[in-house]
Amino acid sequence: MRRRNKINYSYLSASTGLNFDALLSDNTLLKLFDIIRTMPNYLIEFRFSGTAKKFLKSLIYEIAHKFRVRGAISKRAIPHITLVGPLQTRNQSRLVGTVREVCSKYDLVSFKLKGFGRFGHGLFGWLFHQKVVFVEIQPSEEMNQLRIELVKKLDDFCTLTKFDHHKDRHFHATLAFKDIDAKFKDIWNYVQNKKAPDMKQFLLRVTIIKDQKILYEYDFMQRKLLTRTQAKNWQVAQKTISIFKKKLKN
């Protein structure tokens, strides 16, 4: 093994508590990576709609065009908040059932868009070699509890990230990432001169993503699981919004 690899893995061993040198020596780690690579990737997230979606999407494209960066728009900009993941499991039906079971205990789950933030320093920047500019998300107690309960239940049969196990996950909605390293400071200064967002929102649905596509959504207003077709249906969405507006009035 070349010395630069040994130094890197020694650092990871100290950071994670895993003996990477021993794992590499008998190919255990390589076999594990091969197993994980062939497993489906899932995300549990909230996708914005309405005014908040328009605000975030507009700013994402504004930054991308002004600074000629494409990380956040390489496919299609979908403003969202990651709740859990990325994660892997071989038991998809249990995953879907668990998300439905946990979410069914909640009703109106609120949060706020509150200013701007950034990642790009310390261990996060070293491990993932990327900087991120985002809108800060201020969760309610219910939103924090929902995430914690999801992690606790999913941890029994899913491979989660170390960040999922943090008690206070840093919720955020990404504006720019991946290819922004050389322009990070300029982008950060640019958003700092923007009016800081300050708006209250609610989780209307929680989306289960499989390999970057909607698998299912749990609808808090209709109190049921939606298929991919139903989740993308305009009439179904209007029913969700109608129920939500009635709940707010009451």
Residue 159 DSSP SS3: strand
User: pLDDT tens digits for 163-179?
Assistant: 898 878 899 999 998 88
Pick among 3.40.50.1860, 3.40.50.150, 3.40.50.2000, 3.90.1140.10: CATH of 41-249 = 3.90.1140.10
- Say if residues 247 and 221 touch (Cβ distance below 8 Å): yes
What the block records as the tokens of 94 is 């249990």
Q: Are 35 and 43 in contact (CB under 8 A)?
A: no
Identify the bridge partners of residue 44 per DSSP, sorted by sequence position.
84, 208
Confidence of residue 16 (pLDDT cuts 50, 70, 90): very low
Packing angle of the helix pair 141-154, 92-103 (nearest 10 deg):
150
Q: With bands split at pLDDT 50, 70 and 90, how would you rate the model's confidence at 1?
A: very low
Q: Where are the domains of the chain?
A: 1-38, 41-249
Q: What is the pLDDT of residue 13?
A: 45
Q: Which of 183, 172, 173 is nearest to 65 (CA)?
A: 183
HEC readout, 82-112: EEEEEEECCCHHHHHHHHHHHHCCCCCCEEE
Q: Per the structure block, which two tokens stand in for 99?
A: 């998300």
* Residue among 80, 68, 56 nearest 214 (CA): 80
Q: pLDDT, tens digit, for every residue of 89-119?
A: 999 999 999 999 999 999 999 999 999 999 8
Answer whether residue 246 shows pLDDT above 70: yes
Report the range of poorest mean pLDDT among 29-43, 173-187, 196-210.
29-43
Q: What is the pLDDT of residue 31?
A: 52
Q: Kindly list the distances between the CA atom of residue 93 and the CA atoms of 96, 127, 149, 228, in Å, as whole numbers in the listed order.
A: 5, 32, 18, 15
Report residue 184 as tokens: 């990070």
pLDDT at 7: 43
